[in-house]
Amino acid sequence: MTRASDLTSLTIAEIRDGLAARAFSATELTKAYLAAMEAARALNAYIVETPEKALAMAAASDESIARGEQRPLEGVPIGVKDLFATEGVHTQAASHVLDGFKPPYESTVTANLWQDGAVMLGKLNMDEFAMGSSNETSYYGPVVNPWKREGSNLELVPGGSSGGSAAAVAAHICAGATATDTGGSIRQPAAFTGTVGIKPTYGRCSRWGTVAFASSLDQAGPIARTVRDAAILLKSMASVDEKDTTSVDLPVGDYEGAVGRSVKGLRIGIPKEYRIDGMPAEIEALWQQGIDWLKDAGAEIVDITLPHTKYALPAYYIVAPAEASSNLARYDGVRYGLRVPGDDIVSLYENTRAAGFGAEVKRRILIGTYVLSAGYYDAYYVRAQKVRTLIKRDFDLAFEAGVDAILTPATPSAAFGLKEMALASPVEMYLNDVFTVTVNMAGLPGIAVPAGLGAGGLPLGLQLIGRPFGEETLFSLSEVIEQAAGRFEPARWW
């Protein structure tokens, strides 16, 4: 039998090969992960572990393999962000307001994974309702990044909102994870942890059964250890779903087939507006390195302009809170979750929501309620939606001019310390998403791929932005970066 730590080091592609060759069983693999999870509780990546369910699913996978039927994700141990409804299992979006909620149904994305043979290890920590960039807004406490600065014991954030997903993948306590991205919540934590994360085109993964934050921006996607693993996971997560009217009627692509495909002749746009003031030299250097790698692989580099880039973040902070204030109106203390009594129905609502939501969620609900309120709707919300049209048009024009994908840094910095931003204004925290938020505003696919280590030996990521439904191109290009940069793993301290 292979050693447990070796089993948790395998990529999903290697698990697939190992199970097919009967080198180990799905049960052995799952047991190795359950032991690793127990040993890594200091990271606080899991909110709930589901060992019994995992072992039952692994046993079913072993039976399936014994019958000679190996489905695409057979026996692959997966962590699930707490935003996805999982039947009979804790689903609270890391919020107190959903206290005790166990959905009687399964989200489409997770149902797709189980259908393809994957094994559920548990529910992963996240920022409350996916609102945050450091995983510090979770009701269940912050997640600790498995990475530390060289020679420092300071605990770092894993990024957010999918901080639990990214930390768990980087720490080898799941083989891959589901995540969601409304303004950068897959790509920023992937960049902070040296993992690969892709937010597909809006409409590619069904939103059914995913707790809603900002419905016109929310998209599910995977976080994985390699580009190929991300491709394998996305293939299973994506689908055409009649339960989600924004699910797009296009066949799911051959993502894994795109990994390793030549990028020769592809035109890569470099947007000058992403060269922001005060950008650290290491980020500049990383970006240039990425340009050189793609050029060496035969891609053509062209300078482009996306003139409305600087307006994406302010427009986002109108659109996303507006949609959130509407979506989160359902948490009323009546139908599910927490209930704090009051003298009448209104005070029951007010008390429940006061006790149930954390500070960042309240802040966004209040902003959203304000910008949608009578007299301000046109000045804020309609104007922001018009700006969104301009942002999308910038990208449309670049693609019409023949650009196949756009290369940018994934984040303006490496991971920062826990509580380091505690005294910062909300806007300073929002600036973490400055490179990623444009992609959600335009509904495009974007992937973050590790590209090197910066000061203190912390991972840094590059972002590739694709045409609508251009995920295959992104997988081909990011494979070039992964091959050139290598893979990065944290030194184990937990």
Partner 1 sequence: MSVDIATVKRVAHLARIAITEEEAASFQNELNTILGFVEQLGELDVSEVEPMTSVVEQTMKMRADVVTDGFYSAKVVANAPASDDEFFVVPKVVE
Contact set for partner 1, span 116-175 (CB under 8 A) = none
Task: Say whether residue 199 binds partner 1 (CB under 8 A).
Answer: no
| Structure-block tokens of residue 157 | 């954030």
Beta bridge partners of 462: 409, 449
Task: Say whether residue 293 binds partner 1 (CB under 8 A).
Answer: no
46, 224, 459, 489 from 193: Cα distances, Å:
16, 11, 6, 9
| Structure-block tokens of residue 145 | 């990044």
Strand spans (E) along 319-435: 405-409
Task: Say whether residue 339 binds partner 1 (CB under 8 A).
Answer: yes
Clarify whether 5 is annotated catalytic.
Answer: no
- Residue 202 · residue 453 · CB < 8 Å: no
Q: Which of 21, 281, 346, 423 binds partner 1 (CB under 8 A)?
A: 346
Could you say which residues in the range 231-250 bind partner 1, by CB under 8 A? 242, 245-246, 248-249
Could you say which residues in the range 455-484 bind partner 1, by CB under 8 A? 468
3-state secondary structure of 286: helix
Q: Which is nearer to partner 1, 203 or 269 (CB)?
A: 203
Give me the least distance between CB of 17 and partner 1, in Å please: 36
| Structure-block tokens of residue 264 | 């020769």
User: Buried b vs exposed e over 169-186: b needs ≥16 C-beta within 10 Å?
Assistant: bbbbbbbbbbbbbbbbbb
3-state secondary structure of 77: strand
Task: Say whether residue 66 binds partner 1 (CB under 8 A).
Answer: no
Which of 185, 239, 325, 413 is catalytic? The answer is 185
Clarify whether 161 is annotated catalytic.
Answer: yes
Task: Say whether residue 342 binds partner 1 (CB under 8 A).
Answer: yes
Which of 81, 148, 199, 235 is catalytic? The answer is 81
| Structure-block tokens of residue 26 | 């799905």
Task: Say whether residue 422 binds partner 1 (CB under 8 A).
Answer: no
Task: Say whether residue 273 binds partner 1 (CB under 8 A).
Answer: no
Give me the least distance between CB of 251 and partner 1, in Å please: 14
**Part in contact with partner 1 (CB under 8 A); list of ranges 61-69, 180-188, 275-283, 389-397:** 389-397
Quick one: DSSP state of residue 337? S
Task: Say whether residue 412 binds partner 1 (CB under 8 A).
Answer: no
Q: Can you give the three-state secondary structure of 125-169, one letter per residue?
A: CCCHHHCCCCCCCCCCCCCCCCCCCCCCCCCECCCCCCHHHHHHH
**Part in contact with partner 1 (CB under 8 A); list of ranges 117-125, 264-272, 419-427, 470-478:** 419-427
Task: Say whether residue 353 binds partner 1 (CB under 8 A).
Answer: yes
Which residues are marked as active site? 81, 161, 185
